[in-house]
């Protein structure tokens, strides 16, 4: 496999997946791809998705604040033969529309791509608007593919690839700008195939979404301060997971740490742990994420530091695990 070029340059490599997905939908429509778009009132007219809806009003449907109705109608459009992209405010997608995701979208196995924005603690509305229980729900529903892009560029790759994908998909993205993981977009991408972003043989950090960058920065701290070479894996497809990659990392490094911006109960780390235990893994393992509580209120970066999910916290957890 060709070398993957990554970046640690926070200041120059910011990206915004919430804007990138709308820009890619515009390009896809301009290229002649036939799909429809449903959305809610949190899509501002000035946003990329808002501009797409203004340019292609005949294929866009605004459901206001009736998210369950939107998800159900998206299923109906898909059953009529359409490929449907549906942008929903993340907390209301996973919690308010759970029945429609389960019974309408997943049970009927339709070609709907549910784009859940403001994932994790990025909504700014506190515990009632934090989107942290979603991965546990999505993992338990049959037929769902769950894609958590590491940065805006990967989000664009996934949006484009999802057009020809068969079956329902969750695309989980955060609210605002996050550091880019990949310095260029020439790397190979395939749903269900994890990517090694940092090489190392002392341990493995497996993450998805914005936490891939935190993990890379944590690995950099470990290398520079302690001489520890941590491997970092971008498990962008949380369901189905790349079990072959987990096997490889468990066999070659013997220590596994997962990092996620979600509840550690039933989330990405839980999925890795379940698989490892059933295969007879007896190495060291630790989950980093939001604990079993309603998260404290604060700026996302402050919340990350509070729960040890930032690069310093990741490095500290790994170092302590290695010496436990």
Annotation marks residue 312 as catalytic = no
In contact, 201 and 231? CB cutoff 8 Å: yes
The neighbouring-strand residues paired with 116 are: 88, 172
E strand map for the chain? 14-15, 36-39, 60-62, 84-89, 112-117, 145-147, 169-172, 178-179, 195-198, 203-207, 230-234, 237-239, 255-263, 284-290
Residue whose C-alpha is closest to residue 286's, from 275, 270, 302: 270
Packing angle, helices 268-278 and 243-253, rounded to 10: 70
Residue whose C-alpha is closest to residue 132's, from 309, 316, 276, 284: 309
In contact, 274 and 246? CB cutoff 8 Å: no
CA atoms lying within 13 Å on the CB side of residue 235: 27
Out of 3, 23, 24, 67, pick the active-site residue: 67
- DSSP assignment of 43-83 equals S-TTSHHHHHHHH-GGGEEE-TT-HHHHHHHHHHHHHTT--
Any idea which residues carry the catalytic annotation? 67
């Amino acid at each position: 496999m060709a070398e993957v070029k990554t970046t640690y340059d926070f200041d120059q490599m910011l990206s915004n997946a919430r804007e990138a997905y709308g820009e890619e939908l515009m390009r896809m429509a301009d290229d002649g791809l036939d799909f429809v778009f449903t959305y809610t009132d949190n899509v501002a007219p000035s946003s990329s998705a808002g501009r797409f809806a203004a340019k292609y009003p005949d294929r866009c449907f605004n459901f206001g604040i009736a998210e369950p109705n939107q998800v159900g109608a998206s299923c109906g459009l898909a059953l009529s033969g359409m490929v449907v992209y549906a942008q929903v405010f993340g907390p209301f997608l996973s919690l308010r529309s759970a029945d429609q995701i389960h019974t309408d979208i997943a049970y009927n196995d339709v070609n709907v791509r549910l784009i859940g924005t403001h994932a994790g603690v990025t909504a700014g509305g506190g515990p009632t608007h934090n989107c942290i229980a979603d991965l546990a729900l999505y993992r338990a529903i049959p037929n769902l593919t769950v894609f958590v892009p590491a940065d805006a560029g990967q989000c664009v790759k996934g949006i484009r690839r999802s057009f020809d994908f068969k079956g329902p998909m969750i695309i989980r993205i955060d609210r605002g700008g996050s550091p880019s993981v990949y310095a260029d977009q020439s790397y190979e991408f395939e749903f269900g195939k994890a990517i090694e972003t940092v090489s190392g043989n002392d341990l493995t950090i497996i993450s998805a979404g914005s936490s891939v960058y935190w993990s890379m920065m944590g690995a950099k701290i470990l290398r520079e301060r302690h001489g520890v070479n941590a491997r970092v894996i971008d498990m962008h497809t949380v369901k189905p997971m790349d079990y072959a990659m987990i096997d490889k990392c468990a066999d070659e490094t013997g220590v596994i740490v997962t990092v996620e911006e979600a509840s550690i109960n039933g989330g990405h780390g839980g999925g890795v742990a379940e698989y490892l235990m059933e295969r007879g893994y007896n190495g060291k393992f630790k989950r980093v994420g939001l604990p079993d509580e309603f998260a404290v209120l604060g700026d996302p970066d402050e919340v990350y530091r509070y729960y040890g999910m930032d690069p310093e916290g990741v490095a500290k957890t790994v170092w302590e695990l290695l010496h436990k």
